[in-house]
Amino acid sequence: MDNKLNTHECENLPPQGIYIECSDCKAEKKIIWNLYIQREATESDLEENHYLETEGEAIWTTILEITHCPYCGIHLPGLDNIDKKSYGKFTHIDSSGWSSKTM
């Protein structure tokens, strides 16, 4: 696997707001597959929240380390030798306010 991000594509993924990407982390010497769940601003969101500027910008994003696609069930490539006890981290980024918050 090379340094660029690779995307898992399956016909069961929702058309918007959810995607699966992999990165080869040379510093940590491991491959990480992440499930991204993202809520994007709509026109009504812009009317309700003056911190949002354009339709489609991320209001919040949740990122989860995964080993299998939750939509088709396949084992994602490159994860045969991972330490399963250290895998599964997650991050939530809230961009709905004046500054982003990572939780």
Give pLDDT, residue 21: 92
| C-alpha dist (Å) from residue 47 to 16, 54, 55, 100 | 22, 11, 11, 19
- Count structural domains, the chain: 1
Domain extent, residue 23, equals: 6-102
- Are 1 and 24 in contact by the 8 Å Cβ rule? The answer is yes
Q: Does residue 71 or residue 97 have the better pLDDT? A: 71
Q: Which pLDDT tens digit goes with each residue over 44-62? A: 878 888 788 788 788 889 9
Rounded CA gap, 40 and 46, in Å?
A: 11
Domain annotation covers residue 1: no
For residue 26, what pLDDT band results from cuts at 50, 70 and 90?
A: low
What per-residue confidence (pLDDT) applies to 75? 92
Residue 63, in any domain of the structure: yes
Q: CA geometry: angle at 54 spanning 49 and 57, to 5°? A: 90
